[in-house]
């Protein structure tokens, strides 16, 4: 049995494509878990517990790399703290808050706007050249998100605005795009060192929000299902997916691996239908196809190959 397990493990960690499917599958599951968490947890509290448990779990593994990487970490420590606090913490708190008001399908599809937001940030702040095909891709993606968020009636945006949950999720995406944009200033350190600093700084950032939430609404002990959701979020989207993605990048390179991140909205939507029994309507399909088509056009027209984004979120 041990030999069989070892062969299966070795086969898995040597298969880049399997690993790069596992990672976005777990990230897509995060939206479903967040929706399930609304029955037992308040959004800021569950985010705080997520990052507290993740930082405690990672510390024994990160201690050695942190000691070795400290000379590189020290000059850019505040960059790493900002990435964790404003990227991971704000994105997750807002995503879990959004899931109180909108569906996991919507949240999954809206996350697909991230590559376009990153491209926009590169253009605005770094004056990176943008080709006309990338602009078309941006417009397609934005229209796909708008179609999803307005339930297939984009004209409603001008008269009624967005559903509260969808609006909150789009703000969350802006925070995560800022995190991804900021990764260019990340020091060249071991991924475990990076993950621990990100997780611990995200936890510290959530404390005042969780404290305010508890003071306003109180705290009630979750049931068994609530603890299982928290356990899933800590182990799979936070830790296992990072191992899988990091290994996949090691095997086939960051440019090719980065394309697999686009599977997150597909897996998130499918899991929402299968687990939550959410209805997958025509506008979800149309929005998803428009978003993926926009990303594909932007990728094709990119002046340089796009580097993979380290997805520590989802």
DSSP state of 99: T
Task: Tell me if 198 sits within 8 A of 80, measured CB to CB.
Answer: yes
Write out the DSSP string of 33-56.
HHHHHTTT--HHHHHHHHHHHHHH
What's the pLDDT at 11? 62
Q: Which residue has the tokens 């001008």?
A: 158
Q: What is the pTM of this model?
A: 0.85
Task: Tell me if 236 sits within 8 A of 122, measured CB to CB.
Answer: no
Distance of CA 197 to the CA centre of its chain: 17
What's the pLDDT at 78? 94
Task: Tell me if 114 sits within 8 A of 133, measured CB to CB.
Answer: no
Task: Tell me if 205 sits within 8 A of 85, measured CB to CB.
Answer: yes
With H, G, I as helix, E, B as strand and everything else as coil, classify residue 74.
Answer: helix
Task: Tell me if 265 sits within 8 A of 28, measured CB to CB.
Answer: yes
Residue 204 tokens read as 């510290």
Task: Tell me if 201 sits within 8 A of 80, measured CB to CB.
Answer: yes
What's the pLDDT at 271? 92
What's the pLDDT at 256? 66
Write out the DSSP string of 149-178.
HTTT-TTHHHHH---HHHHHHHHHHHHHHH
| One pLDDT digit (tens) per residue for the chain, 314 residues | 566 555 655 566 778 888 888 988 999 999 999 999 999 999 999 999 999 999 999 999 999 999 999 999 999 999 999 999 988 999 999 999 999 999 999 998 888 778 778 778 877 887 777 778 777 877 888 788 888 888 888 877 776 778 899 999 999 999 988 888 888 888 989 888 999 999 999 999 999 999 999 999 888 889 999 999 999 999 999 888 888 887 887 787 765 666 677 788 889 889 999 999 999 888 888 888 888 888 777 767 664 444 444 454 55
Write out the DSSP string of 259-304.
GGGGGHHHHHHHHHHHHH-----HHHHHHHHHHHHHHHHHHHH-SS
What's the pLDDT at 156? 79
């Amino acid at each position: 049995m041990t030999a069989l397990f070892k062969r299966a493990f070795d086969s898995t960690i040597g298969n880049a494509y399997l690993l790069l499917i596992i990672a976005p599958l777990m990230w897509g599951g995060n939206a479903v878990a967040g929706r399930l968490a609304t029955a037992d947890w308040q959004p800021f509290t569950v985010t705080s517990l997520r990052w507290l448990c993740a930082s405690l779990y990672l510390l024994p593994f990160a201690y050695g790399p942190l000691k070795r990487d400290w000379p590189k970490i020290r000059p850019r420590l505040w960059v790493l703290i900002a990435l964790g606090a404003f990227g991971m913490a704000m994105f997750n708190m807002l995503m879990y808050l959004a899931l109180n008001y909108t569906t996991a399908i919507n949240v999954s599809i809206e996350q697909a706007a991230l590559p376009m937001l990153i491209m926009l940030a590169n253009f605005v702040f770094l004056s990176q050249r943008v080709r006309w095909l990338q602009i078309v891709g941006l417009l397609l993606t934005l229209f796909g998100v708008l179609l999803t968020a307005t339930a297939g009636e984009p004209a409603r945006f001008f008269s009624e605005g967005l559903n509260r949950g969808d609006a909150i999720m789009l703000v969350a995406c802006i925070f995560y795009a800022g995190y991804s944009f900021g990764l260019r200033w990340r020091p060249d350190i071991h991924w475990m060192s990076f993950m621990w600093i990100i997780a611990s700084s995200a936890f510290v950032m959530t404390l005042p929000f969780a404290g305010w939430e508890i003071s306003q609404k109180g705290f009630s002990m979750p049931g068994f299902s609530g603890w299982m959701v928290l356990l899933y979020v800590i182990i799979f989207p936070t830790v296992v997916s990072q191992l899988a993605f990091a290994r996949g990048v090691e095997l086939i390179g960051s440019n090719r691996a980065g394309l697999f991140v686009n599977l997150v909205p597909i897996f998130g939507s499918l899991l929402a239908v299968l687990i939550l029994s959410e209805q997958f309507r025509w506008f979800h399909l149309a929005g998803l196809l428009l978003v993926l088509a926009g990303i594909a056009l932007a990728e094709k027209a990119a002046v340089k190959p796009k580097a993979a984004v380290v997805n520590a979120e989802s």
